[in-house]
Amino acid sequence: MSQPSHVNIYQILFLLLSSLVALYAEYSGHHSLIIYVTFAPGHQYLPKYSSYGMLDDYRVFTYESTSDVFSHPFGQLESLSTVWRDLRDCTNFKTGYFNLFSRYANLTLGLKSPLLQLMYGCQLSHNGTSSGLYHFSVNGEYSLSMDMDSPQWYSYLPQDLDIKNILDRFDLWNHNNLIYIHRDCVPRLKKFYELSRTILDQKVRPEAVIRHKRAGTLNCVVTGFYPKDITVEWMVNGQPALDGISTGFLPNHDQTYQIQVAILLSDTTHNYSCQIMHSSLQEPMVFAWDASSSMTEEKMSLHIGFIAGLIASRPQTWCRISGKEQAIEVETRPVLRLEGSVKD
């Protein structure tokens, strides 16, 4: 067994910031441009400054201070030269204020080399209306948002007040944040969209299969679809079932998604079917469950899965939290796998 390597828990968390982006990419016809920034001075496993931009669910750029390069999928387009120049200026501008914040936080709050994170951007709806967001996080513990109508920060938690007092001092930075949100973000979103629309506007049909588990549940596995918006529901005797349990959207390696919806098999004499609605389909896709064939397939899959699991047993990476300093131990150990993923 290899020796565990200790990584501070805050080095791998986006916490609230990472989950909030889902709010801005769920609606068909809407587009969002969200930028994530991490400032981690003195942290062994992270670059001092890193950022990436997401147009809906498509990454349009990545930057790390270790290489000082903006990587992106657009080649040497002259139309984007000003965008990369502005992003570089923005990186230098933010770095200055991050350093200043760190000094204030160390002096007033005793926070030494805090991990700082930003999530900011805009959403544009199909009717032309737009909205913005600007979130700031310290060590994954303190989280504040900027008022979109005035250069001030707010939080509903009293422990964030000291952080707010520091941020409210940065008048120039705060005003520049609002200028970006209200003036620059939507035009940049439109520019990235025009260059990415062949990917974002593609429609890929889903594939589906129904699995019967010994625990008495039916699982409708739907994969390979794009865009992400999809409706998957179980029908019992032709009526929608209200007790389906979903995994939520899971990404595949090829920019498509998968989702699984399970239902309790309460009566084998009922007619169960999985109905799928997606923009790539002219009409709903319906898969009916066949009780007789399902039992045979279940026995076969158990035998095949067990043999494949023995053969495919291989070292896997595990993480666990330990110690008073909330460190994460990463170690490698062999793990027996008895079932595979829907789509690699």
Please report the DSSP string for 65-129 in residue order.
Answer: TTTTEEE-SS-S-GGGHHHHHHHHHHHHHHHHHHHHHHHHHHHHH---S--EEEEEEEEE-TTS-
* 281 and 163 fall within a common domain: no
Residue at 226 is within a domain: yes
Share of the chain above pLDDT 90, in %: 64
d(CA 31, CA 208): 27
Average pLDDT on 167-195 reads 96
Share of the chain above pLDDT 70, in %: 76
* 111 and 178 fall within a common domain: yes
Question: Are 141 and 13 in contact, with CB atoms under 8 Å apart?
Answer: no
Residue at 146 is within a domain: yes
Please identify, among 175, 200, 225, the residue that sits at the C-terminal boundary of a domain: 200
Average pLDDT on 288-297 reads 69
Predicted confidence at residue 23, as pLDDT, reads 38
Average pLDDT on 66-92 reads 93
Please identify, among 286, 301, 316, the residue that sits at the C-terminal boundary of a domain: 301
* 27 and 81 fall within a common domain: yes
pLDDT at 287 over 60: yes
Residue at 144 is within a domain: yes
* 181 and 54 fall within a common domain: yes
pLDDT digits (tens, 9 = 90+) for 224-281: 999 999 999 999 999 999 888 999 999 999 889 999 999 998 888 899 999 999 999 9
Residue at 75 is within a domain: yes
Residue at 133 is within a domain: yes
pLDDT at 18 over 70: no
- Spell 13-23 as b/e; 16+ CB within 10 A means b: beeebeebbee
Instruction: Count the domains in the chain.
Output: 2
d(CA 79, CA 162): 42
* 289 and 173 fall within a common domain: no
Question: Are 30 and 132 in contact, with CB atoms under 8 Å apart?
Answer: no
Domain harbouring 22, CATH code: 3.30.500.10
* 151 and 261 fall within a common domain: no
Predicted confidence at residue 127, as pLDDT, reads 87
Please identify, among 159, 178, 200, the residue that sits at the C-terminal boundary of a domain: 200
Q: Is 176 exposed, middle or buried (0-12, 13-18, 19+ CB in 10 A)?
A: middle
Average pLDDT on 56-82 reads 93
* 63 and 188 fall within a common domain: yes
pLDDT digits (tens, 9 = 90+) for 219-229: 999 999 999 99
Domain harbouring 254, CATH code: 2.60.40.10
pLDDT at 100 over 70: yes
Domain that holds residue 230: 207-301
* 191 and 218 fall within a common domain: no
Q: Mean pLDDT highest for which of 51-65, 200-214, 296-310?
A: 51-65
